[in-house]
Amino acid sequence: MTAIRIAGLNRRFGPAFAVEGLDLEIAAGEFLTLLGPSGSGKTTTLRMLAGLERPDSGTIQVGGRVMNGPGVFVPPHKRNMGMVFQSYAVWPHRTVYQNVAFPLRVQRVSRADEKARVGRILDLVELPASDFADRYASQLSGGQQQRVSLARALVADPDVILYDEPLSNLDARLRDAMRTLLRDIHGRIRTTALYVTHDQTEAMVLSDRVCIMQAGRIVQQGTPRALYDNPSNMFVTEFIGGANALPIVEQDRARQQVGIAGGVRIHVANWNAGSASRLVIRHHHVQLLPADATACNAIDATVRDAVFLGDRVRFTLQADCGLTLIADAVASPGLPMPGSRIRAVLPAALCIII
């Protein structure tokens, strides 16, 4: 079932489009993330869905109800959505309880019910009411404020919950903890969610589906796995994971082979792209074999540099054909040293043609 349907959404600031011709459908209970660099129009999209920003044109439907359309505009307070702001937006002059209870107050929920629901939701975000209910927001740490903000967004059972880079103001350790908490909570409540971030890890940990945004448009969408395995262009490739991109100089579609610099031919198992300009392979997919090993799809190279990164070692390889390759290997004894000769193998099944 479709919960949200956005079609032909446009928003300009001055002459420049912040969001251009955006179409998007979100299924009920789905956790969807807009992932893209700063300025790509994620926040603007989210705010238009919330009703905080008006689109220039386009329609937004939520649960079959038209929120934005020709002659229709439902103001934000009538959309029954929850939102977690990047700045937390916790009211500093109110207590934690007053912050979280506010959406229920607006709905005129009975006091007894309100108390029970606020208590339950505070437990869910791991801010026990007994310790935190009467504290002022100004007495809370950033992470705690973020939890209050989350509790406030969830307490009234919204149809949709919106997140605008909720973790970007937290330090790395807190961010990990909050990410896990969010994943747990959504695993339980299954509220339809639209999440905005520029952090690929967040997107991959949390999302059922990810839309990559660039310059106001969605350039590719799919499950995190699908985006990682089959990026449709260099932008998506770089944004998710990073990879080697080797220019293709000749192609032989019939034999599923491409030629790269120095006359090296590489066999490719899946050839989906119409045009072929680059051979892409993830860093950790490059296999390192001894210089005398026999293998197909092998490139002879010298190790120029090896950097120890804890769980893995990152090699910079100078191929004889002139290309530079990066290869990641699990840290273990017996890895090649800088200066040694090796053969770098690009497994056919893991090569991507773009």
Partner 1 sequence: MATVTPNLDLFGPLPRRLGMSVVLAVSAALVLAPVLAVIYGAFRTRPPGAPRAAFTLAKMAQAWGGIFTGGWTQAPTVNTILLAIPVTIVATALGVALAWAVTRTDMPGRRTLELLFLVPLLYSPLVSVIGWTVLADPGAGLLNRAWAGVTGAHAPLFDVYSYGGIAFVMVFYFAPYAFLLCAGAFRALDSTLEEAAAMSGAGLLRRLGFVTFPLMLAGIGAASLFIFTLALEQFAIPGFLGAHVHFDTLAYAIFERTSTYPSDLPGAAAAGTLLLVLSSIGLYAYRRLTRHAGRFISVTARGYRAVPTALGRGGMVLTVICAALFAIGVALPLAAVLLRALLPVRTASVDLSALGFGNFTQLFAAGDFLLGLQNTAWLAFGAATICAGLGLLIGSLLVRRRSAGLSALDYLVALPIGIPGTVFGVGMLWAYVRTPLYLTLWILLLAFTVRYLVYAVRTVGGSMMQIDPVLEESAAIAGGTPLRTFLFVDLPLLKPAIASAWLLVFLIVMREISASVILYGADSVTVPILTWNYLNDGSYGTASALAIVQVVAVGLVVMLLRWLFGADIRARSE
Ligand X SMILES: Nc1ncnc2c1ncn2[C@@H]1O[C@H](COP(=O)(O)OP(=O)(O)O)[C@@H](O)[C@H]1O
Q: Tell me which DSSP letter residue 337 carries.
A: P
Q: According to CB under 8 A, which one of 44, 149, 207, 287 is a site residue for partner 1?
A: 149
| Residue 35 or 124 with smaller CB distance to ligand X | 35
* 153 is a contact residue toward partner 1 (CB under 8 A): yes
| Residue 85 or 235 with smaller CB distance to partner 1 | 85
H, E, C per residue of 213-270: EECCEEEEEECHHHHHHCCCCHHHHHHCCCEEEEECCEEECCCCEEECHHHCEEECCC
* 102 is a contact residue toward partner 1 (CB under 8 A): yes
Within 10 angstroms of residue 111's Cβ, the number of other Cβ atoms is 10
Q: According to CB under 6 A, which one of 30, 32, 35, 42 is a site residue for ligand X?
A: 42
CA pair distance 264, 286, nearest whole angstrom:
16
Q: What is the largest CA-CA distance in the chain?
A: 78
* 93 is a contact residue toward partner 1 (CB under 8 A): yes
Beta carbon of residue 47, minimum distance to Mg ion (angstroms, whole number)? 9
* 38 is a contact residue toward ligand X (CB under 6 A): yes
Q: According to CB under 5 A, which one of 40, 43, 99, 191 is a site residue for Mg ion?
A: 43
Beta carbon of residue 42, minimum distance to ligand X (angstroms, whole number)? 4
44 binds, among Mg ion, ligand X, partner 1, none (CB under 5 to 8 A by kind): ligand X
CA pair distance 251, 237, nearest whole angstrom:
21
Length of the chain: 354
Whose tokens are 């959404």? That residue is 9
* Residues binding Mg ion: number (CB under 5 A): 1
Q: And the tokens for 47?
A: 């705010």
Judged by CB under 6 A, the stretch of 1-9, 37-45, 217-225, 281-289 that binds ligand X is: 37-45
Beta bridge partners of 6: 24, 60
36 binds, among Mg ion, ligand X, partner 1, none (CB under 5 to 8 A by kind): ligand X
* 152 is a contact residue toward partner 1 (CB under 8 A): yes
HSE, side-chain direction, 13 A CA sphere, residue 302 = 7
Distances, alpha carbon 49 to alpha carbons 45, 58, 69, 106, 259, in Å = 6, 11, 12, 21, 47
* 43 is a contact residue toward ligand X (CB under 6 A): yes
Letter for the amino acid at 168? S
| Residue 138 or 272 with smaller CB distance to partner 1 | 138
CA pair distance 78, 60, nearest whole angstrom:
14
* 95 is a contact residue toward partner 1 (CB under 8 A): no
Return the exposure string of 118-156: e unless at least 16 CB atoms fall within 10 Å of the residue's CB, then b.
Answer: bbebbebbebebeebbeeebeebeebbbbbbbbbbbbbb
HSE, side-chain direction, 13 A CA sphere, residue 317 = 31
* 40 is a contact residue toward ligand X (CB under 6 A): yes
| Residue 9 or 46 with smaller CB distance to partner 1 | 46
18 binds, among Mg ion, partner 1, ligand X, none (CB under 5 to 8 A by kind): ligand X
Beta carbon of residue 214, minimum distance to ligand X (angstroms, whole number)? 10
Contact map string, positions 33 to 72, toward partner 1, x by CB under 8 A: ----------x------xxxxx------------------
| Residue 68 or 287 with smaller CB distance to ligand X | 68
Q: According to CB under 8 A, which one of 16, 56, 57, 106 is a site residue for partner 1?
A: 106
* List of residues contacting partner 1 (CB under 8 A): 43, 50-54, 75-78, 80-83, 85-93, 102-103, 106-107, 138, 149, 152-153, 156, 162, 165, 168-169
Site residues for ligand X per CB under 6 A: 13, 18, 36, 38-44
